[in-house]
Chain A
Amino acid sequence: MSLILKNVSVTSEKDGVILDDISFEFKPGRIYILIGRTTSGKTSLMRAIAGLLPIDSGQITMNGEDFDEKPIWERDVAVVYQQFINYPNKTVLENVEFPLFRKGMSKTEAREAALVSISKVGLSDYLDRKPAQLSGGQQQRVALARSLSRKSHIMLLDEPLMNLDYKLREQLRVEFKEIFNSQKDAVTIYATTEPPEALILGAEILVMHEGRIIQYGSPTEVYEKPQSTTVARVITDPPMSILPVSISNGEIRFGDGYAQPIPAKMKNFKEGRYQVGIRANDIEIAKSGGEKGTISLVEVSGSETLVYVDTPSGEIVLQMEGIHDVKVGESISIELPGNRLFLFETTGALCVSPDSAGE
């Protein structure tokens, strides 16, 4: 019952490589999260699975059947789009019944199944409304109900919460998790650009970049051990600060000569150039000493303050709890606790992660 992709590639004249030799096996009963920047290929991968994007090479099979033989309407794939797609001229009930009639259900069967899905998403009071009369969140729920009622074996959700407001997103994320965990025989693939969403929802996370899957694993694995600086940047929010350093004489040297003693985990590494990474919430303001820099940007977001600091080694982002009165242009000293540092090769590959027992 698996969805298997083998060496799937898609190129276009206009945009270059869209999908680059993708091979993966999606197993039923689990939620897979695709995370990556906007052009990383998440939507293209989903469209290729759905049949909306023709593939140039490779093979997609579901349950052993080659999708190449099957046009879109025979593939049993359900999609929830970012833009709340519903049939504008049908009521909520008619919208959800529509795919069921297409499957060949009788009027009564279809109605029953539709009503079940509609109640699952909490819209039982809105059966006769047209989509234009519903709020954004409700419209998306109709789309969701429609996809659920089909009981397809492949469920694709392409950033479905992106166009909703913050509070609604939080609420629906929780609901999604409950709903999808009960879909035991379907492959569920969910695309997002937001690390928190990925970490909350996913059973397995696939990190995509430039049309390739650059890492996959459980949320903990990917979060604690990003295999490369690219992954590290994608999976952290706010993005991890990555600085070029050199290791010599038992010290880590930063750009302007500022040096720290080398942490225990990194002692065994040869001298030379590396990159060091640190998460924004691990950085602290130094009470004495520390790397010096100037504040270039301050963002207050929610109940945190993000401070962007220009240092001789590069730009650092630190996250402070609460709202602080720091100003652009001020000097600031920051501390980069050695036990919270990641070490990467200059190529970007991971050497040491602070959360696990060394490489």
Chain B
Amino acid sequence: MKKGYPRFFLLPGLILLIAIIIFPLLFTIRVTFSSWNVSQTGLNFIGGANWAEMVRDTRYWGSLLRLFYLSFLTVAIQYALGFAIALFAWKGIAARRFFRVLWLIPMMTTPSLMAIIWRSIFTEDIGALNGLLSRVGLDPVNWLTESGPANVAITIAEVWQWTPFMFLILLAGLLSLPKEPFMAAAIDGASAWKTFARVTFPMMAPISIGAIMIRLIDASKIFDSVFTMTRGGPGNATETPAAYIFQRSLQDFQIAYGSTLALTYLILAIVTLTIIGKVFARLSKPRGI
């Protein structure tokens, strides 16, 4: 089109974003080759020492692996639950308005603050959950002081927080589906399960993939619940990369080393998510969707 008009629209936002993102990123890259920490600030050059140390950092790699499992697990549960609720809500429920508001609420709460509440629920001696368990005659569980239960606790908090998000997107998707295939299935006498497996699910594929990708991207950054509920504990049992890096770089003030971890974290996240995205894209194509 004419001269400067297209630029007027795109450039301000693009430049702002580049300024906010690229320069800090470049700085981070540079800093990883220095030894900036609490006792020595400033950009010196020490070669790849930080990188070498990172490779030996088992706590870091442990946190990455943990994040991998955690994000997949939570997103899978959120997807299954969210889809189920969306399916039920799709055909209409009584008191629709009430439920819609209710189910929207977790998403609107502040994750880190709800994590405080979850802490009060999961606390061993005076927490709500153990209280309930003992009232029904079951043994209390060491939610926050044992590694397994602690991860379960985090998972529960994440599922509570984000399933409504999945639910919203999936419901919007269901509502936008054309009616004809369903009428055809009904005429053919398909059972509810068959209709779901052969009609609903395939037609929802693009939306499902979109929703899962969005949630995976957010799940790859899990920090809030871990930081407030368990501080990564017990020990490092629930520590995610974000929590670990936060501690190393902004609390222990090892800027250079922390930046190295952060940069690797970013690269791994981009690579993994891109691969997953491409896999999904390929999965949805051959079926002619």
Q: Find chain B residues with CB under 8 A from A71 CB.
A: 1-2
List chain A residues, Cβ under 8 A from B2.
71-72
* Distance A322 CA – B1 CA, assembled complex (angstroms): 54
A residues 68-83 touching B (CB-CB < 8 Å): 71-72
- Chain B residues with CB under 8 A of A72: 2
List of A residues within 8 angstroms of B1 by Cβ: 71
In the assembled complex, how far is the CB of residue A354 from the closest CB belonging to chain B, in whole angstroms? Answer: 51
User: Chain B residue with minimal CB distance to A52?
Assistant: B1
Bound Cα distance A71, B1 (Å): 8
CB distance from B267 to the nearest CB of A (A): 36
| Docked CA distance A317–B1 (Å) | 47
* Interface size counted on chain A using CB atoms at 8 A: 2
Scan A55-77; emit 1 where CB is below 8 A from any B CB, else 0: 00000000000000001100000
* Cα separation A177 to B1 with both chains bound (whole Å): 35
A-B contact count (CB 8 A): 3
Minimum distance in angstroms from A42 CB to a CB of chain B: 23
B5 to chain A: closest residue by CB = A71
Per-residue contact bits, chain B 1-42, to A (CB 8 Å; 1 contact, 0 not): 110000000000000000000000000000000000000000
A4 to B1, CA, bound (A): 22
CB distance from A326 to the nearest CB of B (A): 36
Q: Kindly report which residue of chain B lies nearest to residue A73, judged by CB atoms.
A: B2
Q: Binary interface profile of A, 33-71, with partner B (CB < 8 Å = 1, else 0)?
A: 000000000000000000000000000000000000001
B71 to chain A, nearest CB (A): 40
Q: Separation in Å of the A151 CB from the closest CB of chain B? A: 24
In the assembly, what is the distance between CA of A71 and CA of B2, in Å? Answer: 7
Q: How far is the CB of A51 from chain B (nearest CB, A)?
A: 9
A73 vs chain B, min Cβ distance (A): 9
Q: In the assembly, what is the distance between CA of A71 and CA of B6, in Å?
A: 13
A74: nearest chain-B partner, CB-CB: B2
Q: How far is the CB of A50 from chain B (nearest CB, A)?
A: 13
Closest-CB distance, B258 to chain A (whole angstroms): 49
Query: For the complex, what is the distance from the CA of A32 to the CA of B38, rounded to whole Å?
Result: 81
Q: In the assembled complex, how far is the CB of residue A106 from the closest CB belonging to chain B, in whole angstroms? A: 28
Distance between B5 CB and nearest chain A CB, rounded to angstroms: 9
CA distance A72 to B5 in the complex (A): 13
CA–CA, A272 and B2, complex, Å: 57
Bound form: Cα–Cα A72–B2 in Å: 9
For residue A74, give the distance in angstroms from its CB to the closest CB of chain B.
Answer: 10
Chain A min CB distance to B161 (Å): 38
From residue B28, how far is it (CB to closest CB) to chain A in Å?
41
Smallest beta-carbon distance A333→chain B, Å: 46
- CA of A18 to CA of B20 in the docked complex: distance in angstroms? 44
Distance (Å) between the CB of B44 and the closest chain A CB? 53
With the chains together, A72 CA to B3 CA distance in Å? Answer: 12
> How many Å from the CB of B60 to the closest CB on chain A?
49
Whole-angstrom distance from the CB of A66 to the nearest CB of chain B? 15
A185 to B2, CA, bound (A): 29
Within 8 A of B (CB), among A247-283: none
Q: Mark A151-182, 1 if CB is under 8 A from B, else 0.
A: 00000000000000000000000000000000
Q: What is the distance, in angstroms, from B88's C-beta to the closest C-beta of chain A?
A: 34
Nearest-neighbor residue (CB-CB) of B3 within chain A: A71
Please name the residue on chain B nearest to A71 by beta carbon: B2
Task: Determine the distance from Cα of A71 to Cα of B5 in the docked complex, in whole angstroms.
Answer: 11
How far is the CB of B52 from the nearest CB of chain A, in Å?
50
Q: How far is the CB of A72 from chain B (nearest CB, A)?
A: 8
- Output the least CB separation between B2 and chain A (Å): 4
User: In the complex the two chains form, what is the Cα distance from A72 to B1 in whole Å?
Assistant: 9
Chain A nearest Cβ from B195, distance in angstroms: 35
CB within 8 Å of A: which B60-105 residues: none
Nearest-neighbour CB distance to chain A for B171, whole angstroms, equals 26
- A125: min CB distance to chain B, Å: 37
CA distance in complex: A71, B3 (Å): 10
Distance A353 CA – B141 CA, assembled complex (angstroms)? 99
Interface residues as binary, A178-218 with B (CB distance below 8 Å gives 1, 0 otherwise): 00000000000000000000000000000000000000000
B6: min CB distance to chain A, Å: 12
Which 3 A-B pairs give the minimum distances between C-beta atoms?
A: A71-B2, A71-B1, A72-B2
Q: Taking beta carbons and an 8 Å cutoff, which residues of B are in contact with A?
A: 1-2
In the assembled complex, 3 residue pairs joining A and B whose CB atoms fall closer than 8 Å, in A order, are: A71-B1, A71-B2, A72-B2
